[in-house]
Amino acid sequence: MSEEKLNQAAAILHELGIDAWLLLGRETEELHDPSLPLLLETNVTWPSAFILTARGERIAIVGRYDVDNVRAAGGWPQVTGYDQSLRPPLRDTLARLNPGQIAINYSTGDATADGLTHGLWLWLQDALAGTSFTKRLVTGEGIVAALRGRKTPSELGALRRAITTTEEIFRAIAGYLRAGRSGLQVRDYAHKEVRRRGLATAWDAAMCPIVTVGPESAIGHVRATDHALSRGELMHLDFGVRQDGFCSDLQRTWYLRRRGEKKAPDEVQRAFDAVLAAIRTGHESLRPGITGWQVDAAARRAITGAGYPEYQHALGHGLGRSTHDGATLLGPRWERYGRTPYGVVEAGNVFTLELGAQVAGYGFIGLEEDVLVTPAGCEYMSTPQTEIWYA
């Protein structure tokens, strides 16, 4: 898959008019630039530089003992080894390439584009001291956003597999739910289904799935508890798996009917309908060219217009190798989101659409779908939940 992304990266550099993209890394098993695994299928130990150019050159400068390994990993036809210092081969290579702009990976708003540590930034300033290259450094956040955001066919294939598996597991959980099951039991059951398939959860297993049971449950990034589901209560799951390196992220809601009840009480149904309508509003707004915050604003107006409080998060985030895959956010223009809500949606992007509403006395209703932006609009990658599910 890295060959696909390396080619895509060169095209993005060309499109953005940036001559070269420089990634630095060391001890990458401990801490690595989130962009590195897209471009290199192994780890390096000593300080290393990876340079891609708009013309398609790929130059790796790594410690002597990493050379064979980086060559074996493939994708980087020029691998230079060094013994004592990365500085001279890096300066020589830049002098030869003489790029007008050199993108490096820092971003105040997008964690996935912020892979350069401050220490390595200081090192780079020092390594290039006395050259004009220090003045040519620019942020690579546009490159990272495009590269992570524009999913290739094989990336979409992996995402679809992860989503399909998650839907299978939701069906298995549906058969397991009944009065008396606790959040912890449901979580453990989900974990068993994940392990049985040889997979991992999409995020920290302690909070994947998030299980919200009844009206007293905390919401957000919370751990399951031993509180048991009772009749007349809602149960909500936020869950995903990591399959072939890609993540799914879906929310589903069940209502456990009281004895004799045919359907959920009106206030539960009304809240469900409002949440569903807001998700659909997001889906209708999402298309290439729109900015992230506009999609969020449309869904936010829909839920508040129906008389429910604003959700205190973004309507949606990019989905890919990470559950929170960075780049454009379908979120409000709040300071904590930096510039990410100002990103422009592109065809080939994959987003979540998610929000919820609390129903006093019953619990939390939350829905989340995964969608692919198409040239004309967007399409569901998941099979949307359109009715309350009964446990």
Cβ distance to a second copy smaller for residue 44 or 278: 44
Which member of 74, 77, 180, 220 binds a second copy (CB under 8 A)?
A: 220
Cβ distance to a second copy smaller for residue 43 or 93: 43
Start-end of H helices in 226-317: 266-285, 292-305
CA dist 33 and 60 (Å) reads: 15
* Cβ neighbour number for residue 146 with a 10 Å cutoff: 22
106 binds a second copy (CB under 8 A): yes
Q: What's the DSSP call for residue 80?
A: E
Which member of 10, 19, 26, 50 binds a second copy (CB under 8 A)?
A: 26
82 binds a second copy (CB under 8 A): yes
Residue 173 CA, distance from chain mean position: 24
| Residues 33-72 contacting a second copy, CB under 8 A | 34, 42-47, 63-69, 72
User: Which candidate, 10, 4, 2, places its Cα nearest to that of 73?
Assistant: 2
Cβ distance to a second copy smaller for residue 95 or 206: 206
85 binds a second copy (CB under 8 A): yes
CA dist 171 and 121 (Å) reads: 48
Cβ distance to a second copy smaller for residue 17 or 119: 119
Asked if residue 105 lies in contact with residue 116, where contact means CB atoms within 8 angstroms, the answer is yes
| Residues 170-209 contacting a second copy, CB under 8 A | 203-204, 206-207
CA dist 215 and 202 (Å) reads: 26
324 binds a second copy (CB under 8 A): yes
135 binds a second copy (CB under 8 A): no
Show contacts of 214-221: CB within 8 Å, 24+ apart. Answer: 214/362, 214/363, 215/358, 215/359, 215/360, 215/361, 215/362, 215/363, 217/183, 217/363, 217/364, 219/356, 219/358, 219/364, 219/366
Which member of 114, 155, 249, 296 binds a second copy (CB under 8 A)?
A: 114
Cβ distance to a second copy smaller for residue 83 or 266: 83
SS3 201: strand
> Sign of torsion, CA 92 59 81 106?
positive
Stretch that binds a second copy, among 2-10, 76-84, 184-192, 380-388 (CB under 8 A): 76-84
User: Which candidate, 275, 287, 245, 276, places its Cα nearest to that of 371?
Assistant: 287
366 binds a second copy (CB under 8 A): no
Cβ distance to a second copy smaller for residue 80 or 164: 80
SS3 328: coil
Q: What's the DSSP call for residue 252?
A: E
Cβ distance to a second copy smaller for residue 283 or 322: 322
101 binds a second copy (CB under 8 A): no
Least distance in Å: CB of 247 to a second copy?
10
Cβ distance to a second copy smaller for residue 15 or 310: 310
SS3 13: helix
Binding residues for a second copy, total number by CB under 8 A: 66
Stretch that binds a second copy, among 172-180, 272-280, 330-338, 349-357 (CB under 8 A): 330-338
Cβ distance to a second copy smaller for residue 238 or 370: 238
336 binds a second copy (CB under 8 A): yes
251 binds a second copy (CB under 8 A): no
Which member of 178, 195, 223, 258 binds a second copy (CB under 8 A)?
A: 223
Q: Which residues contact 258 (CB under 8 A, 6 or more apart)?
A: 231, 232
Cβ distance to a second copy smaller for residue 120 or 256: 120
Q: For tokens 């790929």, name the residue.
A: 58
Q: How many residues does the chain have?
A: 391
Stretch that binds a second copy, among 6-14, 157-165, 220-228, 294-302 (CB under 8 A): 220-228
Which residues of this protein are in contact with a second copy, per CB under 8 A? 26-27, 29-32, 34, 42-47, 63-69, 72, 82-87, 106-123, 126, 203-204, 206-207, 218-223, 312-313, 322-324, 326, 334-336, 338
